[in-house]
Amino acid sequence: MAVQMERRTIEFIPHEERHGTPFGQFTLWFGANLQITAIVDGALAVVFGADPLWAMIGLLIGNIGGGIVMALHSAQGPGMGIPQMISSRAQFGVYGACLPLVLVILMYLGFAATGTVLSGQAINKIIGVETPAVGILVFGALTMLIATVGYRLIHTLGRISSIVGAIGFTYLAIRLFATGNVPALLGMKPFEWPTFLLAVGLGAGWQLTFGPYVADYSRYLPQSTKVSRTFWCTLLGSVLGSQWSMSIGALVAAAWGATFLKSQVAFIGDLAGGGAVAILIYVVIVTGKLAVNTLNAYGGFMTMLTTVTAFTGTRRVTATVRALFIFSFILVSVLIALLASKDFLATFRDFVLLLLMAFTPWSAINLIDYYLISKERIDIPALYDPNGRYGRWNWSALLCYAVGVAVQIPFLAQHMYTGALTHALGGADISWLVGLVVTGFVYYALARKSARTPAQTIYPAEAHCPAAERI
């Protein structure tokens, strides 16, 4: 089948262009989570003191909790047919939505840069080159190609990554049990709330980072797609893939913590057995990282475009403009990967993780408004008009957002900052949970009195779409 270049960007997807099934959401998110950074995320729970058994249980709880939030965002895609961050204009206003958008761009740049470094190492191992720049540039070019072609190729890569990742990670699990005494690693340490909650937070935070762009990859599904099917396919794919990877990470860290963290890519190759098998595992690493890095680049360019067009009033852009936005995003991420020292990358990653506090209140506001206030009724043309129903700024939503960020500060447990109440909790970071709950209650109380909800969803004049089938 010939590769088709995507024509759409931030505009509404007409009914006649809808395609695919919810199972495509499963393969996309399953494949995107079978990757080395998820292994590192799971390893951190053990490195910071958790018993591997309790770490895996905590990670599972966090993945499910954060995954539910993430999948609820995904379920918005078929009904609205627009990118995730465009929809947040219904809550914040056309201009007001740009505040979280800028933070989203920074976060995905950080993830793309650090992921490019790891993938570059794997590519260098495959082709036998020592110069770091070679692998980084090759990986950047691959990301550029797939993100530019767009939606269909991204989902194709997701299917490939699911198959390749499942085979590769099954082999790694077998090698892990064959070379390490895994049963002896479990239950060596007593249960501790702080480290358990840390594991929960690592799993939840991992899932929440997908929230700002997850609906970008479900917006082409037919309007009649059941909300429940989109929700469950996304949730199961993302949770199963991430939990599989993180569990391997937790066990690897328990057996070879320092060695693994010193050089993650090389260690995974050694665990595979070296030689030709290691090369195949490096291919698995590159495939998984390419799947998720393409999501970062595609979501990053859509977020940049959403920010710019809020002020220009543009709804559609040419293929050239689209390519320039993608190129700009990837160029910056590659430059960071090329120029940054290891210390800078570690610090930058901490900064990116700190930005998570900006997305939990955004998620709470977006979900509460869509499912409980607006009840899935959106004036889509007004999302592109600062003089329309949603206006330029929604100050009550922005106030709730500020409150949601502020209440998390005392509960943070990051390298860059530790909150005052964190010590009382034994060092556990529950900021994400506090941010979700407090923001949700405050926004619900205020928005009920000031909602700008249409009687039914209003579609663009040229769209002829049947009503979505509900749960």
Q: What pLDDT, on a 0 to 100 scale, did the predictor assign at position 349?
A: 55
CA 319 from chain centre, in angstroms, equals 25
pLDDT band at 467; cut points 50, 70, 90: very low
Q: Quick one: average pLDDT of 22-29?
A: 98
Q: What are the residue ranges of helices labelled H in 4-131? A: 23-33, 36-47, 52-74, 76-80, 84-87, 89-92, 98-127
Q: Quick one: average pLDDT of 366-375?
A: 95
Q: Quick one: average pLDDT of 279-308?
A: 95
Q: What pLDDT, on a 0 to 100 scale, did the predictor assign at position 351?
A: 66
371-407: string of b/e by CB count within 10 Å (b at 16+)?
eebbebbbbbbbbbbbebebbbbbebbbebbebbbeb
Q: What pLDDT, on a 0 to 100 scale, did the predictor assign at position 236?
A: 98
Q: What pLDDT, on a 0 to 100 scale, did the predictor assign at position 462?
A: 60
**What are the backbone dihedrals phi and psi of residue 433, each rounded to the nearest 5 degrees, phi first?**
-70, -45
Decide if pLDDT at 172 tops 50: yes
Q: Quick one: average pLDDT of 49-56?
A: 94
Range in 87-91, 421-425, 460-464, 465-469 the model is least confident about: 465-469
Q: What pLDDT, on a 0 to 100 scale, did the predictor assign at position 151?
A: 95
Other beta carbons within 10 angstroms of residue 16's beta carbon come to 9
Range in 96-105, 253-262, 273-282, 367-376 the model is least confident about: 253-262
Decide if pLDDT at 206 tops 60: yes
Q: What pLDDT, on a 0 to 100 scale, did the predictor assign at position 468?
A: 38
pLDDT band at 346; cut points 50, 70, 90: low
pLDDT band at 262; cut points 50, 70, 90: confident
Range in 43-47, 276-280, 349-353 the model is least confident about: 349-353
Q: What pLDDT, on a 0 to 100 scale, did the predictor assign at position 471?
A: 34
Decide if pLDDT at 325 tops 50: yes
- Tokens (6 digits) for 52: 């591997």
pLDDT band at 465; cut points 50, 70, 90: very low
Q: Are 290 and 146 in contact (CB under 8 A)?
A: yes
**Cα-based distances in Å from 343 to 197, 333, 339, 350, 357:** 27, 16, 12, 11, 23
Look-up: residue for tokens 């089948």?
1
15-450: which CATH topology?
A: Hydantoin permease (1.10.4160)
Other beta carbons within 10 angstroms of residue 86's beta carbon come to 29
Decide if pLDDT at 345 tops 70: no
Decide if pLDDT at 341 tops 90: no
Q: What are the residue ranges of helices labelled H in 263-318? A: 264-272, 275-312
Q: Quick one: average pLDDT of 158-169?
A: 97
> Tens digits of per-residue pLDDT, 216-253?
999 999 999 999 999 999 999 999 999 999 999 999 99
Instruction: Name the residue among 438, 349, 436, 414 with its Cα closest to residue 66.
Output: 436
Decide if pLDDT at 376 tops 60: yes
Q: Quick one: average pLDDT of 319-323?
A: 90
Decide if pLDDT at 330 tops 60: yes
Q: What is the mean pLDDT of the chain?
A: 90
CA dist., res. 440 & res. 444, Å (int): 6
Q: Quick one: average pLDDT of 279-306?
A: 95
Q: What pLDDT, on a 0 to 100 scale, did the predictor assign at position 279?
A: 97
Decide if pLDDT at 308 tops 80: yes
pLDDT band at 127; cut points 50, 70, 90: very high
Decide if pLDDT at 348 tops 60: no
Look-up: residue for tokens 């929809």?
87
Higher pLDDT, 2 or 325: 325
CA atoms within 13 A on the CB side of 56: 17
The pTM score is 0.93
Higher pLDDT, 133 or 346: 133
Q: Quick one: average pLDDT of 336-344?
A: 75
Decide if pLDDT at 131 tops 60: yes
